[in-house]
Amino acid sequence: MTHYDAILLSSFGGPEGQDDVIPFLRNVTAGRGIPDDRLEEVAHHYRHFGGVSPINEQNRQLKAALEAELAARHIDLPVYWGNRNWAPYFRDVVAEAEANGHTELLGLVTSAYTSYSGVGQYREDFEKATAGTSVSIDRIREFFDHPGFVQPFVEGVTDAAASLVAAGVAPDRIHVLYVTHSIPTAAALASGPEFGDGGAYVAQHLAVASVISEAAAPAAPWSLVYQSRSGDPRTPWLEPDINDAIGELAAGGGADAVVIVPFGFVSDHMEVMWDLDNEAVATAGEHGLEVRRVPTPGVHPAFVGGLVDLVLERVDDVPADERPHLTSLGPWPDHARVTSGAVVPSDAAVPAVEATTR
């Protein structure tokens, strides 16, 4: 048994009004040289929705759902919620937890895959937030192939394919587009060079997509595509972009319909609402393709239950060979514990990718 005092639901954060948008974007891009015109472009996405990202409300709902699931299973662990880029910030939440006598936190990070954005940045922010405190933060493993994360997508693709078939589309004329956040190719490689050019990041996505397709739409061809690239246009990022992929599919006559599966994200936040529901759906329409967009896990009971299972496997020190995983890449190893500004190796082997991403 490993003792924890509380869970720290850890996420990206988002603006909640027009005045928040630019300070939020400055937080996100601090020191990373994102061109101003791109910042303005992103601000525009938020402005369109009143300056409000849905992500904070989705995390409040996830926190409530986790609390209900923990209570139903008689697990006495309070849930704190903190963000990297907007209030409640990690450093404030860590101070609040410490004041309440909660110093051994288990971080539940809302990133399913291995990348600097989803792993290294959180570790660095945990280090900053715990520096000079008595609080330590452990983190659950990347859960890309955990049944609780995969099941909602299997249901979503199954429903989308059924709805297209009901609309008269032949099952093998549906193309399933698994879409995730593009990252620089160098960052992808750094996420785990032992997995090939795309690193652990691409390998994990390919493995999960194949599991979902086999279960939900075995007759339909599929591909892995990317969204939301940003940064310097001269820097290579993972491709193809989903809009280019839709154009090429239509030009090649390879499909009558596309199913868009945003399996890089756990909730329908801004990047889903704007880049997919707005842009990619329009692109499909322009090319005369039927389109369905599959929901993200959100507060799906399988996802919420799966997160609690991921907490329990750490509390109970469940050995790797007994941990649920749906691909041959899993179960992904645990991380080093962050304590008082330092990373202390945990008992489990920490993969090289964790230390070297990006």
Ligand X SMILES: CC1=C(CCC(=O)O)c2cc3nc(cc4[nH]c(cc5[nH]c(cc1n2)c(C)c5CCC(=O)O)c(CCC(=O)O)c4C)C(CCC(=O)O)=C3C
Query: At closest approach, how far in Å is the CB of 56 from ligand X?
Result: 8
If the CB atoms of residues 85 and 103 are measured against ligand X, the closer one turns out to be 85
| Cβ atoms of 240 and 206 closer than 8 Å | no
Region of 74 (left: φ > 0; alpha: ψ -120 to 50; beta: rest) is left
Query: At closest approach, how far in Å is the CB of 167 from ligand X?
Result: 30
If the CB atoms of residues 80 and 226 are measured against ligand X, the closer one turns out to be 226
Binding region for ligand X (CB under 6 A): 12, 14, 25, 28-29, 32, 34, 38, 42, 53-55, 110-111, 115, 117-118, 181, 183, 230-231, 264, 269-271
Q: Which two tokens stand for residue 223?
A: 């591909």
44 marked among binding-site residues? no
Q: Which two tokens stand for residue 261?
A: 């599966």
Query: At closest approach, how far in Å is the CB of 80 from ligand X?
Result: 18
If the CB atoms of residues 75 and 355 are measured against ligand X, the closer one turns out to be 355
If the CB atoms of residues 12 and 89 are measured against ligand X, the closer one turns out to be 12
Which amino acid is present at 285? Answer: G
**Sign, Cα dihedral of 292, 293, 298, 304:** positive
If the CB atoms of residues 23 and 196 are measured against ligand X, the closer one turns out to be 23
Q: Which two tokens stand for residue 5?
A: 């005092």
Nearest to 11 by CA among 269, 304, 226, 340: 269
Give the whole-angstrom CA distance, residue 322 versus residue 117: 28
Query: At closest approach, how far in Å is the CB of 339 from ligand X?
Result: 22
Instruction: Match 């199954």 to its residue by tokens.
Output: 158
175 marked among binding-site residues? no
67 marked among binding-site residues? no
Nearest to 111 by CA among 237, 224, 10, 195: 10
> Per DSSP, which regions of 263-336 are E strands?
290-293
If the CB atoms of residues 106 and 289 are measured against ligand X, the closer one turns out to be 106
CA dist list (Å): 91 to 80, 85, 326: 12, 11, 35
| Cβ atoms of 217 and 171 closer than 8 Å | yes
Query: At closest approach, how far in Å is the CB of 33 from ligand X?
Result: 9
Query: At closest approach, how far in Å is the CB of 200 from ligand X?
Result: 12
Binding-site residues from annotation for Fe(2+): 181, 271
Binding-site residues from annotation for Fe-coproporphyrin III: 53, 122
Binding-site residues from annotation: 53, 122, 181, 271
